Amino acid sequence: MGRVYRKPKDVEKFLIREFVHGMLGYTVSRPNWCESPDAILTLHKGRTRTRVAIEHTSYHSDAEAGKCSPQTPIADFWKRVQISLARRIGQRKHLAEIGGRVRLNTKRFTGQPSSRAQETLARQCAKELVDFLECHSIPESEFVRYPPPYTRSKVAVFSEYPTLRMLVSSMTLHRIPGAIMFPRCSWMCDSISTGCIGLNVNSIRAAIRKKNTKAKKYNWGSATDKWLLIVAQGSTLAEHTGASEDHKWVDAELSALCQASPFGRIYFWEYPRSWYKSLKPNRPIVTKTP
């Protein structure tokens, strides 16, 4: 896993730059990172230069209209855990070759805790994960599950770790010594990596409809062109669409929404698989090969 960004705006900056440069081949200058729209950039390609405003939004296959994906609060929490784990494991080189997969108790994430409370809980979770590693020997090249398979109660396993007992349903640890050293933040959360992958056109229509309405109040500044970028960034399984297939995009209502949109261009980008679809103007899917 690559860098874990601390702020949502940093993620947004990375995605916008990566798309316009890595996928479309533009050179970026004079970036103005703002809100409503999210960025105003000068894009260069050959001798052409255009001042473009870009509004970014995320794709979730399981999101209902007007609501966030159920996996979003869990993903936000786990990102905070990863940041704390990176720092703690970075100070303990003997733990760097241990990787883990954690399944969280999703019932604990139904509310909307404050950012400060979530940060405190994430740090405590990371601390107890490291303490657990220090007190348990992980055999080389083996996968060890806690609690062990066919054991219903986790009280005994996590008896000295109250935060893990509250939040963690199970975790699997493995150590690969010597040649392979796990990169920082390589710990995975199974609660956001299992589920349904697929293209949900309803979610895309809802995102475009919402942005079309909000765009009327945006400050477009010096931009001469307006873009909407919808990104399936892959942080959770709900942020994937699967294979790139043009026939899945044949939808009359979606086409009408795009044509009536104040955005001059509308793109959908599947970041993990490196393909994008231009919805306005309507163009075939483009896959970027490494």
Answer for the pair 99, 174: CB distance below 8 angstroms, yes or no: yes
Which pLDDT tens digit goes with each residue over 37-78? 999 999 999 999 999 999 999 886 555 555 556 667 887 888
Q: CA torsion sign, 175 to 120 to 66 to 264? A: negative
Q: How confident is the model at residue 179 (pLDDT cuts 50, 70, 90)?
A: very low
106 assigned to some structural domain: yes
pTM for the model: 0.61
Bigger pLDDT: 108 vs 110:
108
Distance of alpha carbon 149 from its chain centroid, rounded? 30
Q: How many CA atoms lie within 13 Å of 262's alpha carbon, on the beta-carbon side? A: 16
Q: How confident is the model at residue 127 (pLDDT cuts 50, 70, 90)?
A: very high
Among candidate residues 160, 192, 224, the one where a domain is terminated = 192
271 assigned to some structural domain: yes
Tokens encoding 145: 């599950």
Beta-sheet strand order (sheet of 39-45) = 27-33, 39-45, 48-58, 225-232, 265-270, 275-280, 286-287
Mean pLDDT computed over every residue of the chain: 84
67 assigned to some structural domain: no
Q: Cα angle at 195 between 183 and 244, to 5 degrees?
A: 80
Q: How confident is the model at residue 2 (pLDDT cuts 50, 70, 90)?
A: very low
| 98 in the same domain as 20 | no
Q: How many CA atoms lie within 13 Å of 252's alpha carbon, on the beta-carbon side? A: 0
pLDDT at 138: 85
3 assigned to some structural domain: no
| 187 in the same domain as 125 | yes
pLDDT at 241: 73
| 110 in the same domain as 54 | no
| 28 in the same domain as 12 | yes
Mean pLDDT of 111-132: 87
1 assigned to some structural domain: no
| 117 in the same domain as 48 | no
Q: How many helices (H) and strands (E) does the chain have?
A: 6, 11
* Residue 36 reports pLDDT greater than 50: yes
Our CA dihedral for 50, 263, 66, 8, rounded to 10 degrees, sits at: 0
Q: Cα angle at 84 between 240 and 168, to 5 degrees?
A: 65
**Count of all residues that appear for the chain in the document:** 290
| 218 in the same domain as 185 | no
Answer for the pair 60, 71: CB distance below 8 angstroms, yes or no: yes
Bigger pLDDT: 131 vs 200:
131
Q: What is the CATH number of the domain that holds 215?
A: 3.40.1350
pLDDT at 180: 47
Which pLDDT tens digit goes with each residue over 234-280? 766 556 676 677 777 888 899 999 999 999 999 999 998 899 999 99
| 106 in the same domain as 216 | no
* Residue 1 reports pLDDT greater than 50: no
| 181 in the same domain as 84 | yes
* Residue 201 reports pLDDT greater than 50: yes
Among candidate residues 192, 224, 249, the one where a domain is terminated = 192
Among candidate residues 192, 220, 252, the one where a domain is terminated = 192
Mean pLDDT of 91-99: 84
Q: How confident is the model at residue 25 (pLDDT cuts 50, 70, 90)?
A: very high
> Nearest Cα to 202, choosing from 253, 261, 245, 238?
253
| 151 in the same domain as 87 | yes
Bigger pLDDT: 269 vs 137:
269
| 175 in the same domain as 81 | yes
Domain span including residue 39: 8-62+197-287
pLDDT at 289: 78
> Nearest Cα to 54, choosing from 267, 281, 285?
267
17 assigned to some structural domain: yes
Q: How many domains does the chain have?
A: 2
